[in-house]
């Protein structure tokens, strides 16, 4: 029964590379869109917010009262 010898320095560096790749992948998904795609998404969000506001019930000013 012999254990596998692990170089801790290499293991730490490999872990950092994996974490950096994960972060990079998340950033590509978040920021890697074209200007047209960003504008389309923003327009859809604004439209949805306006629809929600238009559908809101008109009641008393005190929203905390049951």
CA dihedral sign, ordered 39, 45, 46, 47: positive
- Residue 38 has what pLDDT? 87
Q: Give the span between the Cα atoms of 28 and 17, in whole angstroms.
A: 16
Domain ranges of the chain: 9-51
Confidence (pTM): 0.45
pLDDT digit string, tens, across residues 19-59: 999 999 999 888 888 889 889 999 999 999 999 999 888 87
- Residue 66 has what pLDDT? 54
- Residue 30 has what pLDDT? 82
Q: How far, CA to CA in Å, does 7 sit from each of 10, 20, 52, 55, 59? A: 5, 20, 57, 62, 67
Bin 20: left if φ > 0, else alpha if -120 < ψ < 50, else beta: alpha
């Amino acid at each position: 029964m012999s254990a596998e010898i692990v170089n801790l320095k290499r293991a730490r560096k490999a872990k950092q590379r994996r974490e950096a790749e994960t972060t990079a992948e998340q950033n590509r998904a978040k920021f890697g869109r074209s200007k047209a795609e960003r504008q389309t998404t923003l327009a859809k969000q604004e439209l949805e917010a306006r629809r929600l506001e238009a559908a809101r019930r008109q009641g008393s000013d005190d929203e905390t009262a049951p």
